């Protein structure tokens, strides 16, 4: 019996920065709009001119509370602002106003599809830094982003695989967009993650030494970086080395991580209460009002779609990925017999026309939910058949017109049950020969009778239903 190789478990926790979609910055009235010419979204406060003072944007607190409610966090009664001191050219005051000692949101969790809950330690509000551009060794500084409000969502080290990590980020993205606190655009930097990662032999309790990969701005890169870092740490340990606690950067060209540490930055943030800002005494009535205004959260909605409407889980996930899709669905199913049909139309046909994620998020299809609803009701009543409905929906999506613009009265006429019975009787009565052949065991003879029904209904009747009905009549 040989030695079995030790398997290593990945342990990871995330610090996720999300820019809030308020109109103005956290401590001054400058716009938070993305982009803009350099240093044009700035004022004395956000470039930290001496003597300027911050005044907290009320909406930042409200948005952060909404974010907290979206992840089941506890809204603190008292919150305070602290200064995190570090000197870097993108930080105009040499401190970032943040929260350490009394953050706004405590606890909470994000539930994954495997049922695991990733616990959150807290969520705090803080200001973003400006942007540095390094060119030919020179450093150019633009403070447009300086002072844009952020929430930092700090998770517990509960993530155990790269898939869980990816889903965790997607879930946060989904729910934060859902409640409208952020657009969570990783490519524009409005959502960024610091990934803490360590490994430990499977089955053991104690955490290994962790490293922190800073500023990850795409889910793909998060996965790549974690994979690389997991392998690196395992190799290191297996070869008798030790993981050093350090901050890493990920190079997306080489796919490797490297240490960010230099002797220039000693890390001691010397947090202390910001004396320029007063206490946030979170008004309970406002919290309750925000709670009452909260939309049904995607996870709850997804569960309901599965349970109430018998939508397959995979489809329910797709319908609840973006709030607009789910709202479209909710409107379109009003009074229909089978919500699943609506779901199939959305996922089958409409998704083909909203290819990108941002198209799906906007879900600006030409057909209104009411129009889709009308179409599905025609199908429900048996007035039209499925393939006609499908082709009609394509035409509706091309034109933005309603179902009745493409389906005439006569198209719908012969297909209901009474009409079908009439057509079948007719076929039987006028084709005694075929009836006779069928009765004598010539199975194929039925086709002639069905063909008659189809001909007389100009192809609108359901052939299967017709065959069944004819068999009933002559059987």
Partner 1 sequence: MGKIAKIHEMLTTGQCSCAELTKSYLKAIESDNGELNAYVCVTGDEAMKTAEAVDKKIAAGETIGLLEGVPMALKDNMSTKGIDTTCCSKILTGYKPIFDATVWELLKEQNAVMLGKTNMDEFAMGSSCENSYFGGAANPVDTNHVAGGSSGGAASAVGGNIAAYGLGSDTGGSIRQPASFCGVVGLKPTYGAVSRYGLIAYASSLDQIGPVTSSVEDAALVFDAISKPDKRDSTCKGSASPTFDKLGSDIKGMKIGIAREYLDGVRDDVKEAVLAAAELYKGMGAEIVYFDLPILKFALPVYYIIACAEASSNLGRYDGIRYGYKTEHYTGTHDMICRTRSEGFGEEVKRRILLGTYVLSAGYYDAYYKKAQDLRGTIIKAFNNAFEQCDVILAPTVPMTAFEKGHATSDPVETYLTDICTVPVNIAGLPGVSVPCGFNQKGMPIGMQLIGKSFDEATILNAAYHYQQAAPDKFKETKWGVKL
Partner 2 sequence: MVTREDVENIALLSKLFVPEEELDGLTESMQEIINFADAINNAPAGDEGFDNINNLSNVFREDEVIESYPSEEILKNAPEQAEDHFLVRNRE
Q: Which of partner 1, partner 2, none does 52 bind, CB closer than 5 to 8 A by kind?
A: partner 1
**51 lies in the binding site for partner 1 (CB under 8 A):** yes
**89 lies in the binding site for partner 1 (CB under 8 A):** yes
- Paired residues of 109 in beta bridges: 119
Out of 6, 7, 23, 399, the only residue in the binding site for partner 2 (CB under 8 A) is: 23
Site string for partner 2, 59-78 (x = CB under 8 A): xxx-----------------
**100 lies in the binding site for partner 2 (CB under 8 A):** no
- Backbone phi and psi for residue 426, each to the nearest 5 degrees, phi listed first: -55, -45
Local structure of 74: helix, strand or coil: strand
Of 111-119, 252-260, 275-283, 386-394, which part binds partner 1 (CB under 8 A)?
275-283
Asked if 16 and 186 touch (Cβ cutoff 8 Å), the reply is no
Q: Which of partner 2, partner 1, none does 208 bind, CB closer than 5 to 8 A by kind?
A: none
Q: Which of partner 1, partner 2, none does 386 bind, CB closer than 5 to 8 A by kind?
A: none
Computed from CA positions of residues 80, 86, 87, 88, in that sequence, does the dihedral angle turn out positive or negative?
negative
Q: Give the Cα separation of 198 and 210 in Å (integer).
A: 4
CB atoms within 10 A of CB 48: 18
Out of 6, 55, 244, 289, the only residue in the binding site for partner 2 (CB under 8 A) is: 55
Cβ neighbours of residue 55 under 8 Å, at least 6 residues apart? 27, 28
Site string for partner 2, 115-134 (x = CB under 8 A): ------------------x-
Q: Which of partner 1, partner 2, none does 83 bind, CB closer than 5 to 8 A by kind?
A: partner 1
User: 311 — alpha (psi -120 to 50), left (phi > 0) or beta?
Assistant: beta
**426 lies in the binding site for partner 2 (CB under 8 A):** no
Out of 11, 12, 16, 57, the only residue in the binding site for partner 2 (CB under 8 A) is: 57
Asked if 406 and 452 touch (Cβ cutoff 8 Å), the reply is no
Half-sphere exposure of 208 toward its Cβ, with a 13 Å CA cutoff?
27
- Backbone phi and psi for residue 211, each to the nearest 5 degrees, phi listed first: -120, 160
- Paired residues of 75 in beta bridges: 105
Q: Which of partner 2, partner 1, none does 280 bind, CB closer than 5 to 8 A by kind?
A: partner 2
Q: Report the residue number, 127 or 183, with the smaller CB distance to partner 1.
A: 127
First CA to last CA distance, the chain: 72
Of 89-97, 403-411, 454-462, 465-473, which part binds partner 1 (CB under 8 A)?
89-97
Q: Give the Cα separation of 446 and 449 in Å (integer).
A: 5
Tell me which residue has tokens 């490297």: 258
**275 lies in the binding site for partner 2 (CB under 8 A):** yes
Q: What is the CA radius of gyration of the chain?
A: 31
User: 260 — alpha (psi -120 to 50), left (phi > 0) or beta?
Assistant: alpha
Find the binding residues for partner 1 in span 139-168 (CB under 8 A).
139, 141
Find the binding residues for partner 2 in span 277-316 (CB under 8 A).
277-281, 283
DSSP 106-166: E--EEE-TTS-EEEEEEEEEEEPP-EEEEETTEEEEE-TTTT-EEEEEEE-S-B-SHHHHH
**52 lies in the binding site for partner 1 (CB under 8 A):** yes
Q: Which of partner 2, partner 1, none does 345 bind, CB closer than 5 to 8 A by kind?
A: none
Q: Which of partner 1, partner 2, none does 51 bind, CB closer than 5 to 8 A by kind?
A: partner 1
Out of 278, 294, 362, 370, the only residue in the binding site for partner 1 (CB under 8 A) is: 278
**DSSP classification of residue 31:** B
Find the binding residues for partner 1 in span 56-85 (CB under 8 A).
56, 83, 85
**DSSP classification of residue 24:** B
Tell me which residue has tokens 């613009």: 405
Q: Report the residue number, 139 or 430, with the smaller CB distance to partner 2.
A: 139
CB atoms within 10 A of CB 293: 10
Nearest approach in angstroms of CB 105 to partner 2 is 17
Q: Which of partner 2, partner 1, none does 93 bind, CB closer than 5 to 8 A by kind?
A: partner 1
**87 lies in the binding site for partner 1 (CB under 8 A):** yes
Q: Give the Cα separation of 84 and 364 in Å (integer).
A: 43
Site string for partner 1, 106-145 (x = CB under 8 A): ---------------------------------x-x----
Note the residues at the interface with partner 2 (CB under 8 A). Answer: 22-24, 28-31, 37-44, 47, 55-61, 85, 87, 89, 133, 136-143, 264, 266, 268, 270, 273, 275, 277-281, 283
Note the residues at the interface with partner 1 (CB under 8 A). Answer: 44, 47-56, 83, 85, 87, 89, 92-95, 139, 141, 264, 268, 270-273, 275-278
């Amino acid at each position: 019996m040989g030695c079995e190789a030790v398997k290593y478990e990945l342990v990871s926790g995330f610090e996720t920065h999300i820019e809030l979609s308020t109109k103005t910055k956290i401590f001054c009235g400058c716009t938070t709009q993305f982009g803009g010419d350099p240093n044009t979204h700035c004022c004395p406060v956000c470039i930290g001119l001496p003597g300027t003072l911050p005044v907290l944007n009320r909406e930042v607190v409200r948005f952060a509370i909404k974010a907290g409610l979206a992840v089941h966090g506890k809204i603190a009664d008292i919150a305070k602002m602290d200064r995190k001191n570090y000197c870097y050219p993108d930080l105009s005051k040499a401190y970032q106003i943040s929260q350490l000692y009394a953050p706004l949101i405590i606890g909470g969790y994000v539930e994954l599809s495997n049922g695991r809950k990733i616990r959150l330690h807290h969520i705090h509000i803080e200001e973003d830094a400006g942007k540095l551009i390094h060119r030919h060794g020179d450093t150019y500084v633009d403070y447009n982003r300086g002072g844009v409000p952020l929430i930092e969502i700090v998770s517990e080290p509960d993530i155990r695989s790269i898939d869980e990590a990816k889903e965790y980020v997607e879930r946060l993205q989904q729910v934060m967009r859902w409640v409208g606190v952020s657009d969570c655009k990783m490519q524009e930097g409005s959502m960024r993650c610091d990934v803490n990662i360590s490994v430990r032999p499977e089955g053991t309790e104690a955490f290994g030494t962790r490293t922190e990969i800073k500023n990850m701005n795409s889910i793909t890169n998060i996965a790549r970086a974690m994979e690389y870092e997991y392998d690196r740490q395992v190799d290191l340990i297996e070869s008798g080395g030790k993981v050093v606690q350090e901050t890493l950067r990920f190079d997306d060209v080489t796919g490797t991580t490297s240490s960010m540490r230099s002797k220039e930055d000693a890390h001691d943030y010397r947090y202390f209460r910001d004396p320029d800002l007063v206490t946030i005494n979170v008004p309970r009535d406002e919290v309750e009002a925000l709670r009452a205004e909260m939309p049904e959260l995607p996870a709850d909605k997804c569960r309901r779609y599965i349970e109430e409407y018998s939508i397959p889980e995979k489809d329910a996930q797709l319908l609840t990925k973006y709030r607009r899709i789910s709202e479209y669905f909710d409107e379109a199913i009003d009074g229909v017999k089978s919500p699943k049909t609506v779901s199939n139309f959305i996922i089958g046909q409409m998704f083909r026309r909203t290819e990108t994620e941002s198209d799906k998020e906007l879900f600006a299809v030409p057909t209104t939910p009411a129009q889709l609803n009308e179409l599905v009701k025609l199908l429900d009543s048996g007035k039209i058949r499925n393939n006609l409905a499908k082709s009609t929906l394509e035409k509706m999506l091309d034109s933005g017109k309603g179902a009745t613009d493409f389906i005439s009265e006569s198209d719908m006429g012969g297909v209901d049950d009474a009409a079908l019975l009439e057509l079948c009787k007719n076929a039987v009565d006028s084709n005694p020969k075929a009836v006779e052949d069928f009765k004598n065991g010539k199975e194929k003879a039925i086709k002639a009778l069905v063909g008659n029904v189809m001909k007389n209904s100009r192809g609108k009747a359901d052939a299967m239903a017709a065959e069944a009905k004819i068999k009933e009549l002559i059987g």
